[in-house]
């Protein structure tokens, strides 16, 4: 029922600070289940995905105190091995509870996870990894059950790079007997950040952030405190937003080292950027089209492909956008065409963008989290009024986005159709 109403065409100005990393927060929250001791997480974004994960934790029996971007989790009284299916189906990250519960109590039954519809994301690699660690896996179309009296260390070769599977198996192996090696592991910055936290709690993980991670199992994981790294996807979204709107804005509280490929590709387009130790300033730029390919870290992140495509609608010439990771992640481009963009879909993985295009406001539905933010950016660029519906998807990953964009001078409101009528 709620939607964003954007009156675009305005130049933005000022500073916007980046929140803590959503994709680290979700994994550290799940990692709290490995221990019976208190876990404190700082710099936690106030977003819907975090709310949903807290609901699952409390459903399992943990207590959670939340205040001022801080979570205090006491998992001592976890007393369920089958989280409520309706809660699990609300988001993809719920799958992260399976491994820690298995490692801690020896059994878990979980519904298949939900989340964004951006392509096929089966949990086969999770289940294969749990089997390699010695778990019995019983699966049907609705749920799966894992059982193991004692997990055993193993060599796990990932058939392709998968972030959440890497993190899940790394966490699970912490309490396995012996040594586990994960080959072809994902290398996203959130992975060494998670490993650093677990090591501070007594785990023995080495190689996180490289393609080979080694985990020496321990008897016990203690509690601890974790301060989340900045969210590199939010940072990249805001930098692209500044460039797309031809604005000078300062994006603060970020780590440029986590955005090197993003920065390089933006500079190839002609973007005028000032890079500081923990900030990026965007300035009005004469943009040109380029070829972009998404890739696992340290390549260009798939989560920034949609905002970048919006940016290329404002660049001169032809751009080829090649989405190599998810086969359904370019379908939102039809919505940009409704706004006046000139985008041709070659196949489910490639589009050609011909720019610059004058975008006009339309009423659009957000298909998923990242494409939803891209539509917001398009609305800020477009002339006239844009209405973005299904905003729950956007608020899954971007905290308090309305007031933050208003702070930059954006004309954006959140309205409830029911209240208006």
Give pLDDT tens digits for 190-201. 999 999 999 999
Nearest to 302 by CA among 281, 335, 319, 324: 324
Tell me, yes or no, whether 80 and 202 share the same domain. Answer: yes
Q: Which residue has the tokens 């979204």?
A: 237
Range in 116-125, 169-178, 405-414 with the lowest mean pLDDT: 116-125
Q: Which residue has the tokens 């009284």?
A: 77
pLDDT in tens, 350-375: 999 999 999 999 999 999 999 999 99
User: Looking at residue 420, what is its pLDDT?
Assistant: 55
Q: Quick one: which H or E segment has residue 283?
A: strand 279-283
pLDDT in tens, 232-247: 999 999 999 999 999 9
| Per-residue pLDDT at 104 exceeds 80 | yes
User: Looking at residue 327, what is its pLDDT?
Assistant: 83
Tell me the mean pLDDT in the region 172-181: 98
| Per-residue pLDDT at 64 exceeds 80 | yes
Q: Are 186 and 208 in contact (CB under 8 A)?
A: no
Dist CA 382 CA 330 (whole Å)? 20
Four-residue CA torsion sign, 30, 85, 140, 101: positive
| Per-residue pLDDT at 100 exceeds 80 | yes
Q: Are 413 and 17 in contact (CB under 8 A)?
A: no
Q: Which residue has the tokens 């996870």?
A: 113
Tell me, yes or no, whether 174 and 26 share the same domain. Answer: yes
The pLDDT confidence band at residue 119, using thresholds 50, 70 and 90, is: very low
Tell me the mean pLDDT in the region 274-301: 98
Q: Quick one: which H or E segment has residue 305?
A: helix 305-312
- Indicate the DSSP class of residue 103: H
Q: How many residues does the chain have?
A: 421
pLDDT in tens, 70-94: 999 999 999 999 999 999 998 888 9
Dist CA 318 CA 257 (whole Å)? 29
| Per-residue pLDDT at 122 exceeds 80 | no
pLDDT in tens, 203-222: 999 999 999 999 999 999 99
Residue 121, token pair as written in the block: 């994301």
Tell me, yes or no, whether 218 and 240 share the same domain. Answer: no
| Per-residue pLDDT at 121 exceeds 70 | no
| Per-residue pLDDT at 133 exceeds 70 | yes
Dist CA 417 CA 421 (whole Å)? 6
Tell me, yes or no, whether 217 and 251 share the same domain. Answer: no
Split into its structural domains, the chain has a count of 2
Nearest to 173 by CA among 124, 210, 206: 206
Percent of the chain exceeding pLDDT 70 equals: 97
Tell me the mean pLDDT in the region 176-186: 98
Residue 75, token pair as written in the block: 């998992």
Nearest to 307 by CA among 321, 324, 291: 321
| Domain that includes residue 345, residue range | 2-19+230-420
DSSP 271-323: -EEEE-SSEEEEE----B--EEEB-STTSB-GGGHHHHHHHHTTSBEEEEEE-
Task: Tell me the CB-side half-sphere exposure of residue 108, using CA atoms within 13 A.
Answer: 26
Dist CA 72 CA 67 (whole Å)? 9
Tell me, yes or no, whether 211 and 96 share the same domain. Answer: yes
The residues assigned a catalytic role are 116
| Per-residue pLDDT at 408 exceeds 90 | yes
Burial 75-92 (b: 16+ CB within 10 A, else e): beebeebbbeeebbbbbb
Residue 279, token pair as written in the block: 């900030």
Tell me, yes or no, whether 156 and 275 share the same domain. Answer: no
Residue 357, token pair as written in the block: 């295009």
Tell me, yes or no, whether 180 and 258 share the same domain. Answer: no
Residue 19, token pair as written in the block: 């929140």
Dist CA 348 CA 363 (whole Å)? 24
Query: Where among 227, 242, 265 does a domain terminate?
Result: 227
Tell me, yes or no, whether 51 and 150 share the same domain. Answer: yes
Tell me, yes or no, whether 276 and 178 share the same domain. Answer: no
Query: Where among 170, 204, 227 does a domain terminate?
Result: 227
pTM (two decimals): 0.96
User: Looking at residue 419, what is its pLDDT?
Assistant: 64
φ/ψ bin of 64: left (φ > 0), alpha (ψ from -120 to 50), beta (otherwise): beta
Dist CA 106 CA 81 (whole Å)? 9
Nearest to 165 by CA among 220, 201, 113: 113
Percent of the chain exceeding pLDDT 90 equals: 92
The pLDDT confidence band at residue 128, using thresholds 50, 70 and 90, is: very high
Query: Where among 167, 201, 227 does a domain terminate?
Result: 227
User: Looking at residue 142, what is its pLDDT?
Assistant: 87
Tell me, yes or no, whether 134 and 165 share the same domain. Answer: yes
Q: Which residue has the tokens 């203690």?
A: 222
Helix ranges, 323-391 (H): 333-338, 369-381
CATH classification at residue 314: 3.65.10.10
Q: Comparing 142 with 72, which gets the higher pLDDT?
A: 72
Tell me, yes or no, whether 186 and 241 share the same domain. Answer: no
| Per-residue pLDDT at 116 exceeds 60 | no
Tell me, yes or no, whether 251 and 290 share the same domain. Answer: yes
């Amino acid at each position: 029922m709620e939607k964003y109403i954007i009156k675009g065409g305005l130049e933005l100005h000022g500073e916007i600070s980046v929140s803590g990393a959503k994709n680290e927060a979700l994994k550290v929250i799940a990692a709290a289940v490995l221990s019976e001791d208190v876990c404190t997480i700082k710099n936690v974004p106030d977003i819907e995905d975090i709310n949903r994960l807290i609901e699952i934790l409390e459903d399992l029996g943990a207590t959670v105190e939340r205040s001022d971007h801080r979570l205090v989790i006491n998992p001592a009284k976890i007393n369920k091995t089958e989280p409520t299916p309706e809660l699990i189906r609300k988001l993809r990250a719920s799958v992260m509870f399976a491994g820690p519960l298995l490692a801690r109590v020896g059994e878990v039954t979980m519904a298949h996870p939900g989340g964004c519809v951006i392509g096929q994301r089966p949990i086969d690699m999770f289940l294969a990894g749990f089997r390699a660690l010695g778990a019995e896996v019983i699966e049907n179309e609705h749920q799966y059950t894992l059982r193991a009296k004692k997990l055993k260390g193993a060599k796990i070769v990932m058939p392709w790079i998968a972030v959440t599977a890497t993190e899940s198996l790394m966490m699970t192996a912490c309490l396995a007997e012996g040594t586990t090696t994960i080959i072809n592991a994902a290398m996203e910055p959130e992975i060494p950040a998670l490993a650093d936290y677990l090591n501070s709690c007594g785990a023995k993980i080495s190689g996180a952030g490289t393609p080979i991670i080694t985990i020496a199992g321990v008897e016990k994981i203690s509690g601890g405190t974790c301060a989340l790294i900045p969210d590199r996807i939010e940072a990249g979204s805001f930098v692209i937003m500044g460039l797309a709107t031809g604005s000078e804005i300062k994006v603060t509280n970020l780590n440029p080292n986590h955005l090197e490929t993003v920065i390089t590709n933006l500079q190839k387009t002609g973007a005028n950027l000032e890079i500081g130790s923990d900030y990026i300033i965007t300035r009005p730029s004469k943009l040109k089209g380029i070829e972009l390919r998404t890739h696992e870290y340290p390549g260009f992140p798939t989560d920034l492909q949609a905002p970048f495509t919006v940016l290329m609608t404002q660049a001169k010439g032809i751009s080829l956008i090649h989405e190599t990771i998810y086969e359904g992640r370019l379908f939102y481009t039809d919505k940009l065409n409704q706004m006046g963009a000139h985008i041709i879909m070659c196949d489910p993985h490639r589009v050609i963008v011909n720019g610059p295009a004058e975008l006009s406001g339309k009423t659009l539905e957000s298909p998923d989290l990242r494409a939803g933010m891209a539509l917001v950016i398009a609305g800020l660029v477009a002339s006239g009024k844009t209405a973005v519906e299904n905003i729950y998807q956007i608020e899954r990953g971007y905290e308090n986005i309305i007031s933050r964009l208003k702070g930059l001078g954006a004309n954006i409101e959140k309205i409830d159709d029911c209240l208006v009528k």
